[in-house]
A = this chain, B = another copy of it.
Amino acid sequence: MMEIKFIERKDLKEKPDMSTVKFGSQFTDYMLTASYDEANGWHDWRIEPYGPIQIAPTAVVLHYAQTVFEGLKAYSVDGEAVLFRPDQNFARLNRSLERMSMAKIDEVEALTALKELLKIEKDWIPTGEGQSLYIRPFVFGDDHTLGVHPSDTYKFMILLSPVGGLFSAGTMGTTKIYVEDKFVRAVRGGVGEAKTGGNYAASMKAQEVAEGLGYDQVLWLDGVEQKYLEEVGAMNIFFVKDGELYTPELNGSILPGVTRMSIIEFAKDAGYKVHEARIPLTDLEAGLKDGSVTEVFGAGTAAVVAPVGELNIHGNKYVVGDGNVGPVAQEIYTTLTGIQNGKVEDKFNWIVKVDE
């Protein structure tokens, strides 16, 4: 196992007021860094004071966006730090690195490094209802020439950011979604299934337009025919029709979400019929019209479950169910967050303790 150098800082920061903290705006005292080159592989692992980094102005990430990231969370359960399925995040990190022609990382070493960082930063995990410590591992190319080619050198970093729940207990809100029929996020044969920066840069204009129209998020359609459901904002999408769950199948242009996967596993176990399929927007629209679609929700690490109250499809506005949080979304949210904060039995073995 690799050695991790610990560079201690003199003064620790004050912890933020968690009742007002904005997602991804506060960071802990330390961050993890490691470097890659062909001769040494991943080396120079450090836990060092959080702060600015030095980068060559020619770094591949600045010009050609060679970057991938992950997002997961640590929770405090009875004073102990736990993680939710971190193996899935590091496995996906490697699939993203492979797709973007970047140096892969040893998943065990990456998890070990994260655990070491969390042992030091344990006090930063907030303990309030729905609160957690958001974890941002990322890798970027920092090679020093301008040719368009994969970098020869990479940097791996992990940042930690305490976050509040998006919703307070029992008051999960709903979002308004705009179905995007002009802009496209990804297409088969592209990089849609990789968690790479370019997918997010490509989504910003549509998000801006949707917000201007009074919507919270965009529902993306497939890039080829612009007829099939893909994702909602930066989350996967589910809906409930006649009591059964539907979500777009993984087709190469959809991000394979860890929350998505967990919802499918939980729902099947709980007796729901789950359909992973190529789903025409017209099917969803017909179900909203005739009332057979009773719930629509996004699924992702940040919100866990984000119920949709209203959908705008080509200018037609549909209220989903009665516009409030539906029972299936509520059940999934309660169960997943319950497993994460130790209030529901972890029958799927999803929880990993930091101290083991």
Point out residues on A near B: beta carbons under 8 Å. 22-25, 27, 31, 50-58, 61-67, 69, 99-101, 134, 136, 138, 140, 144-150, 157, 159, 161, 182-191, 196-205, 207-208, 223-224, 226, 233-234
Contact = CB atoms under 8 A, between A and B. Distances in A.
Contact of A65 (B51, B184, B190, B201): B201
A161 B146 contact: yes
Contacts of A205: 99-101
15 contacts: A52-B54, A53-B54, A53-B56, A63-B200, A64-B197, A65-B67, A65-B197, A66-B204, A100-B205, A101-B205, A101-B208, A134-B146, A148-B233, A149-B204, A198-B199
A23 B145 CA distance: 8
Contacts of A224: 187, 223-224
A62 B67 contact: yes
Given A58-B159, A101-B208, 10 more contacts: A22-B147, A31-B57, A53-B55, A63-B136, A101-B204, A136-B146, A149-B207, A187-B190, A190-B223, A223-B223
A156 to B, nearest CB: 12
Nearest to A204: B101
Contacts of A199: 198
A47 to B, nearest CB: 13
Nearest to A33: B57
Contacts of A56: 52-53
A223 to B, nearest CB: 4
Contact of A198 (B138, B201, B234): B201
Nearest to A223: B187
Contacts of A65: 61, 65, 67, 196-198, 200-201
Contact of A57 (B50, B67, B187): B50
A62 B140 contact: yes
Contact of A187 (B100, B146, B187): B187
Contacts of A140: 62
Contacts of A189: 182-184, 223, 226
B207 A202 contact: no
Nearest to A31: B57
Contacts of A157: 57
A233 B149 CA distance: 11
